[in-house]
A and B are shown apart, each in its own frame.
Chain A
Amino acid sequence: MGANKIAIIGIGEVPTRTMPERSRWDIIYDTCMEAVRDSGLSKNDIGAVISTSPQAQPQLTAELAFGKLPEELGLENCKDTCVVNAGGAGTSNCLRLAEQYIASGVADAVLVHHVTVHSTIPVPDLIAFFAKAGVDLQWEYPFGSTYNIIMGLMANRYMHETGCTPLQMASVVTALRSWASRDPHSIFYGKAVPSPEKVLESSLLNTPLHKRESNILADGGCAMVVVSAERAKKMGKPAAYKLGESVRYFSATPMMRNMEKMVYGLRDTAKEAIAQAGITSSDVDIWNVYLAYPLAHPIMAEALEIAPFGQGGQYFLEGRMSFGGDIPWSTIGDAPGRGHTGSGVSAAVYVETARQLMGKAGERQVPDCAYVYQNTSGGSGFNNIATIWGRDPK
């Protein structure tokens, strides 16, 4: 499993916004129907539905897990449905399961989707969820740790080891927002791109994380239709073919995470996925990185051997990863640019990977885009799943 078996042939997405007026099912209808229509198939061609688990939305999770979606959309030939949860890595596992459904004959076409509406979740519930998710309730949470602080711990160590400056770190936001400002699905679409200096003017949440280096919780959803690579090829439509995959587990509890082992894992998964795809690093047209926080991007740039050790931040400051730069990077702007939809950001990155390979990315379209690296990561970074997607089958 992993290489040259499946392809994404249809995508659907609603803009990421704050939109409490839209119910979760309203978004599910629109994204799933758009993806099926985009695929050229009909609703009754869908043989299975897999949902990326919507975090902090227990009622919807239960409804999806207990099979409501195929019934709601009238998918008459759907043979099975389930919810997959690995946090931000959930969508990667949805695609793996889709591959298994297709390989085992359960389904010829699988609908994978995600929806999150944060804006109608009571604030105390949101705070309680994000305070406890991804940290250990015995050995971390009682000390007052948060997601932001976990990122601050990692960033401070990285800056200590490499000499990366606050201005270089802040420039990651500038790069991500430069893509997001041109993405109609981003919460920052059409908005001014803050300079690194402007980013640093925002208040300090916890060292070294400034307010503009954090995420805005938002509402959104997207969907994809997946078929076998063979079938996609026969259909002759623009598609994104999965060509390679590799994964490493690090640790569930942030304090147990060996940073060196994590960096090696980021590096090795990329190398293995690229090798499996039968290409080289220089063939990759877009590094579609999903890390949720900007502070981790310089580490990733170095792990991927795009920037030399200690130079990741400088690469961002020079604008090389920004829109118009020579290293297309996180072309929806990752969570800081797109707006944070929980586990939905990684789903949105997959849709963007497909969109770019299909040649439908509008102003952000990377010319002649043939290969995309994409990663996902779950929890507070318990793993890294690296994948390579191509415009053509192998």
Chain B
Amino acid sequence: MTTQNAQAEQFDMTRPLPIVQPWSEAFWAGAREGKLLLQHCKECSATIFYPRKFCPECWSADIEWRQASGKATVYTFSTAYDMVEPRFWADLPYTIAYVDLAEGPRMMTRIVDCAPEDIKVGMKVEVTFHKLDDKFSLPFFRPAAK
């Protein structure tokens, strides 16, 4: 038995998929098409992320989806080298970040297409989608084109 097979037997090595709520399905449908969608409250003009059933600012149900620019700034980051779940071992090292979207909300993501040592707080980044399967693509970010 190979080491990899032994690991696969002991641990769940399958890639975790987002646990979706009905009101966030449109976000993932957009991500499949390469679009970063944010909710917009038509009642109070709040830009909402993560998606909610009602606007968290005013509780309005009058919410629409708008495509975001995909531009963001790194608020903070941490590059993982060890002690992650076995299902993420193959990705090591990888960098998790909070990025502030140009539209305001903050989201968790991965910074890709960049050496870990080159990632800085305040770095300008842009969205790129990473396909998990036919249903899900995760919004990752990479250094913004100059």
Contacts and interface: CB of A to CB of B under 8 A. Distances in A.
Bind each other: yes
Interface of A: 123-124, 127-128, 131, 136-146, 148-149, 152-157, 160, 203-209, 211, 214, 253-256
B73 to A, nearest CB: 13
Interface of B: 10-12, 15-21, 24, 50, 75-86, 88, 91, 94, 96-98, 106-110, 116, 121, 132, 136, 138
A254 B91 CA distance: 22
A204 B81 contact: yes
A137 B76 CA distance: 20
Nearest to B85: A131
Given A137-B19, A144-B94, A205 B83 contact: yes
A206 B82 contact: yes
B91 A203 contact: no
Contact of B108 (A140, A209, A211, A214): A140
B121 A253 contact: no
B82 A205 contact: yes
B77 A143 contact: no
A75 B101 CA distance: 57
Given A144-B88, A156-B77, 18 more contacts: A124-B10, A124-B12, A137-B18, A138-B50, A140-B108, A142-B138, A144-B91, A148-B83, A149-B80, A152-B80, A157-B75, A205-B80, A206-B78, A206-B82, A206-B84, A206-B96, A207-B116, A255-B98
Nearest to B50: A139
A202 B97 CA distance: 23
A142 B18 contact: yes
Question: Which of A145, A209, A211, A214 has the most B CB atoms < 10 Å from its CB?
Answer: A145
A144 B140 CA distance: 12
Nearest to B21: A138
Contact of B16 (A142, A156, A255): A142
Nearest to B75: A157
Contacts of A139: 18, 50, 107-108
